[in-house]
């Protein structure tokens, strides 16, 4: 089974939005602001690593083909 990196990116994007939103509404039962920052940073780093593994370092800069 081939990993759908687009779906994974979309999931990571949603988590990047959700984690700070939980902190912004002061839902400290989940995590504090410092932990939220670490989680969002880790998710952003995961997206970059996925891109590098999938397309190589130059893939971060090249023009992407249109979505079909």
- What integer pLDDT is reported at residue 1 of this predicted model? 47
Listed in sequence order, the DSSP H helices in the chain are 5-24, 33-55
Q: Span 12-16, mean pLDDT? A: 88
Q: Determine the Cα–Cα distance for residues 16 and 34; give it in Å rounded to an integer.
A: 14
Q: Determine the Cα–Cα distance for residues 59 and 50; give it in Å rounded to an integer.
A: 11
- What integer pLDDT is reported at residue 19 of this predicted model? 82
Count of C-beta atoms within a 10 Å radius of residue 5 = 14
- What integer pLDDT is reported at residue 3 of this predicted model? 64
Q: Could you tell me if 20 and 40 are in contact, meaning their C-beta atoms sit under 8 angstroms apart?
A: yes
pLDDT tens track for 21-68: 877 777 666 777 788 788 889 998 998 888 888 878 887 777 777 777
pLDDT over 70 (residue 16): yes
């Amino acid at each position: 089974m081939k990993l759908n990196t687009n779906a994974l990116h979309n999931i990571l994007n949603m988590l990047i939005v959700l984690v700070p939103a939980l902190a912004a509404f002061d839902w400290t039962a989940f995590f504090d602001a410092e932990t939220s920052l670490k989680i969002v940073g880790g998710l952003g780093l995961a997206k970059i690593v996925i891109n590098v593994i999938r397309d190589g370092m130059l893939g971060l800069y090249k023009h992407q083909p249109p979505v079909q």
